Structure formats: C-alpha cells, structure tokens
Amino acid sequence: MNRLPSLITGIVLTFAASWIGVVAYSYVELGRLAPHLDEASGDVNPPPLPGLAEAGMRVYAANGCVSCHSQQVRSDSNDVANKLGPRPTVARDYLREQPAALGSLRIGPDLTNAGLLSSDAAWFHRHLYEPTTVTPGSNMPSFRYLYNIRKISGQPSALALQGLTGPHAPQPGYEVVPTEDAQALVVYLLSLKRNYTLPEAEPLQ
C-alpha cells in the first residue's frame, strides 16, 4: 500500500491553512491599508517620511537596533501609563516602515516615539557616539564607527558634534563629524512620532 500521495496532500493542506489564514490575510487586508486623510486639518497620517528617514531605516536595520529596541506600544498593558506613547500603536502606524521593526525585546527603551523624547538632533548624535555620557548607566554600545574623527583644517565643520565628554571626546584640534549613515539614522529617529490620531486607534492621552 502506498500512502505517500494522500500523506503529501494532508501535509500540504494543513500547511495551507495557516499560510492562507495568516500570510494571505495579512497580505490582502493589512498590506493594502492606505494613509488616512484627516478632513478637518488636511493632515495625512501617518505623515510622509522626511527625505533621509528611509536611508535611516536601513541603518537602523543594518546595525540590528531591533535586537534591543522595540517599536510597539501595546494595548491592554501599562505601556501608555509608562509614557511609551500617547496611545497604543495600530497596524496603520507602520505603513511606511521598511522593515517594520516591532521588535521582541526591550533590552533598551521602546523607540516608537523616539522623536518625542527630544527634538534635538545633537542630543541623539552625542548619545549614539558615547551613550553613557548622555545617559549614565546606559548599557547601549557606542556607535562611534558611524562618526569620523578628523583634524580641523581651516573652518570647523558645521556638523561637528559639540560638547562631547568622556574617553572618546576628540583631542583639541580634532572634531567628530557624523557620517551620512549617522545623519540618516538621527533623521529617522526624530521622525518616530505616533502622536497623531487615527480613526481605528484609541484617543491620545
């Protein structure tokens, strides 16, 4: 008796159930969500990303930021009470994310609303360059490989980081200048603000 064909049929069908239920459903229903146009204010939500933010997303992915930082404010939890954001996130919030870095761990703080922490790009740069000088006790590694240390020749760079302290602060006559990757990453982090309303989302708090 050869039961191979019927066994293969069963194997295919059981798999197809979750393939259709989870994958095809998500693809069709969530994959076609469109931005929401707020009639009153004329805003489009989630707002379009600033120019460099898309490149910044790739830097975020390439350096595995998602290994430690989630981007997900949960409903039915203390996340809003913990000030991770003004409301829980919904599927449409991730419309423009590529990849959507929801994350599964909070080894570092949640970054769903990183742009609401500070609107100061220089703060983020100092933090990425030498985290403990900005947040004492932080266990975030230094991302100083995203910065160039170079000798000041003539006029100092307008982009150079100011007020650096700590062991990796530049010697006198040297400056620390962010690479394009670092600039893009900070633009992306500053763009992370889920403080707009969506019809399917809970109201802002």
Residues 108-167, interacting with another protein (CB under 8 A): 109-110, 131, 135, 137-145
Binding to another protein (CB under 8 A): which residues in 2-21?
Answer: 2-4, 7-8, 10-12, 14-15, 17-19, 21
Q: How far is CA 92 from the centre of its chain?
A: 15
Whether residue 105 contacts residue 70, with contact meaning beta carbons closer than 8 Å, is answered with: yes
Strand partners of residue 149: 176
Nearer to another protein, 86 or 131 (CB): 131
Contacting residues for 151 by C-beta, under 8 A, at least 6 apart = 173, 174
Q: Could you say which of 52, 56, 79, 133 contacts another protein (CB under 8 A)?
A: 79
Nearer to another protein, 3 or 158 (CB): 3
Quick one: which of 186, 144, 141 has its CA closest to 169?
A: 144
CB of 101 to another protein, least distance (A): 6
Pairing state between β 44-45 and 36-37: antiparallel
CB of 154 to another protein, least distance (A): 28
Nearer to another protein, 67 or 165 (CB): 67
- Look at residue 45 and give its three-state secondary structure: strand
From residue 158, alpha-carbon distances to 146, 161, 182 in Å are 17, 9, 15
Q: Could you say which of 49, 55, 90, 117 contacts another protein (CB under 8 A)?
A: 90
From 37-45, 99-107, 119-127, 151-159, span contacting another protein (CB under 8 A): 99-107
Euclidean distance between CA atoms 162 and 176, whole angstroms: 8
Binding to another protein (CB under 8 A): which residues in 48-77?
Answer: 60-68, 70, 72, 74-77
Nearer to another protein, 10 or 51 (CB): 10
Nearer to another protein, 4 or 40 (CB): 4
